[in-house]
Amino acid sequence: MVRTARIALTLVVALLITCPAPAAGKKCRPKKPFGLDKVVAFTYLDSKKCDPKKLRSVTFFEPVGPKGWRDFAPRGVVTAVGHTWFDLLRNPSDKAVGILVGADYGGNPKPAVSIDEFGFDYGGQTDEKAAAILRETKRRRPELALCVWEMRGPIPKVLGDAYRDVAELVTLESYVGSKSEYWWIAAQVHSARIHGILPKTIAALGIGKGGNPGENWATTKEEVEQQVRFVRLIAPESPGIGFYAGGDFPELIAKADEMAGRYFSLPTDGSGLPADVAAIARLFSDRHEKPTLVCAPEWVEPNRSTDDPGKLVKPNTMRAYVLNLGESDATNVKIRLRDAQDKGGQVFAQGIVSVIPKHGETTAVLPVKQEWKSWKTWQIEVQSPNSEVIVYKR
């Protein structure tokens, strides 16, 4: 059975926070990123059009130059030097670690680097390399705070484990346009909760428009507010929220600033949200007796090379990320990838997953039997005995 949404009015959020067993009589509390009570992140703002110093709610700003921290420190705002993935993932791991360890942090007594971005192939060779770089960097320079932008949706296990062990803050690229795409944010948050890292993870909402034609994010004040309220609903244990403005949208940024200022006073029970929006959240928090599998054509990537994510591992395999929201394991799950109908509609990759654990996730490795002719417009077909299957599309 395939469905795309469920209508409901309430939400019960399961708080699955992983932390060491506390001593007798003491309550276990997750570590606060940078020691901040509230993380409100504004990122990549054009300072010529929007002065970040005028933001009232910001507690974390990135990226800055090596000495940029001096401009924000008097306000108690934490900053991070920005670094792209390019030279990290296109160089040998040891050289990548040396780049991060030896970078100029402008004499900041509490240096931080924000890596833009990791999350390439749902636990494939490139993701394994990224995880290893993070771990070795932290080992060689433990005082350096590692912040990571996670792209392409949910977090695979190899990165979730590394983030839990060594990252200071994880930022999810939660750039969606309207409620029809809120499932994307919900799945990201759900994966962070599975890996026990939601107390150090924030969702960054897209403000305005992206860089690609037709890529619209939150383009009205009403949409900004609804997305912020939705994140508060699905991620009450998150330390905060973030925003990425894709251009010059001063009124929308001002609205985001205003909403962030009262973020922690917003309700966590879904009140104030439309029923169909609350239903999206409820899908990911409800109790599902039988296996309930969630997947999407966009959650499929080829296995990318350790040497360079632009190169594919031979023989080609596709890696399809699948969530199981159910109370039971899904077994003998058959997954096929089929080209879009206007590209012939042929099956080009398929495989079988023996078990997708209850309340868990997996990445199905699908051998490619012929060259694919479409990209992200392909169809994903999932067959699983006694399971409900939900296929989302953006």
Residue 22 lies in a domain: no
Q: What is the pLDDT of residue 246?
A: 76
Question: Do 129 and 76 lie in a common domain?
Answer: yes
Q: Is the pLDDT of residue 262 over 60?
A: yes
Interval 56-115: pLDDT, tens: 999 999 999 999 999 999 999 999 999 999 999 999 999 999 999 999 999 999 999 999
Residue 160, CA atoms < 13 Å, CB-side half-sphere = 23
Q: Which residues pair with 62 in a beta bridge?
A: 43
Question: Do 199 and 318 lie in a common domain?
Answer: no
Residue 184, CA distances (Å) to 57, 81, 187, 355, 391 in order: 26, 28, 5, 24, 12
Question: Do 261 and 325 lie in a common domain?
Answer: no
How many structural domains compose the chain?
2
Interval 181-212: pLDDT, tens: 999 999 999 999 999 999 999 999 999 998 88
Residue 155 lies in a domain: yes
CATH of residue 357's domain is 2.60.40
Q: Which two tokens stand for residue 56?
A: 């009232």
- Of 285, 317, 346, which residue sits at a domain end? 285
Q: How far apart are the first and last CA of the chain?
A: 20
Q: What is the pLDDT of residue 149?
A: 98
Question: Do 304 and 246 lie in a common domain?
Answer: no
Q: What is the pLDDT of residue 13?
A: 35
| pLDDT band at 49; cut points 50, 70, 90 | confident
231 contacts 264 by C-beta, under 8 angstroms? no
Question: Do 220 and 87 lie in a common domain?
Answer: yes
Residue 17 lies in a domain: no
Is the Cα torsion angle 238, 276, 151, 320 positive or negative in sign? Answer: positive
Question: Do 268 and 380 lie in a common domain?
Answer: no
Question: Do 349 and 238 lie in a common domain?
Answer: no
Question: Do 79 and 192 lie in a common domain?
Answer: yes
Residue 368 lies in a domain: yes
Question: Do 46 and 72 lie in a common domain?
Answer: yes
Q: Which two tokens stand for residue 312?
A: 């594919």
Q: Is the pLDDT of residue 11 over 70?
A: no
The share of the chain scoring above pLDDT 70, in percent, equals 92
Q: What is the pLDDT of residue 9?
A: 32
Interval 14-43: pLDDT, tens: 333 334 443 433 444 678 999 999 999 999
Interval 211-248: pLDDT, tens: 888 899 999 999 999 999 999 999 999 999 999 997 88
Task: Give the residue numbers spanning the domain of 382.
Answer: 292-391
**Average pLDDT of 257-280?**
97
CATH of residue 180's domain is 3.20.20.80
- Of 265, 285, 305, which residue sits at a domain end? 285
- Is the pTM value of this prediction over 0.85? yes
Question: Do 177 and 54 lie in a common domain?
Answer: yes
Residue 9 lies in a domain: no
Q: What is the pLDDT of residue 14?
A: 36
Element (H, E) at 150: strand 145-150
Q: How far apart are CA 221 and CA 8, in angstroms?
A: 25
Cα-to-chain-centroid distance, residue 62:
17
Supply the DSSP string of 267-279, one letter for each residue: -SS-TTS-HHHHH
Give residue 246's identity as a one-letter amino acid code: G
Q: Which residues pair with 79 in a beta bridge?
A: 61
Q: 3-state DSSP call for residue 175?
A: coil
Residue 332, CA distances (Å) to 253, 290, 354, 383, 386 in order: 47, 14, 5, 8, 11
- Of 285, 313, 335, which residue sits at a domain end? 285
Residue with tokens 């309220």: 229
227 contacts 241 by C-beta, under 8 angstroms? no
Q: Which residues pair with 145 in a beta bridge?
A: 112
Q: How far apart are CA 303 and CA 250, in angstroms?
A: 40
Residue 187 lies in a domain: yes
Interval 306-349: pLDDT, tens: 999 999 999 999 999 999 999 999 999 999 999 999 999 999 99
Q: What is the pLDDT of residue 29?
A: 61
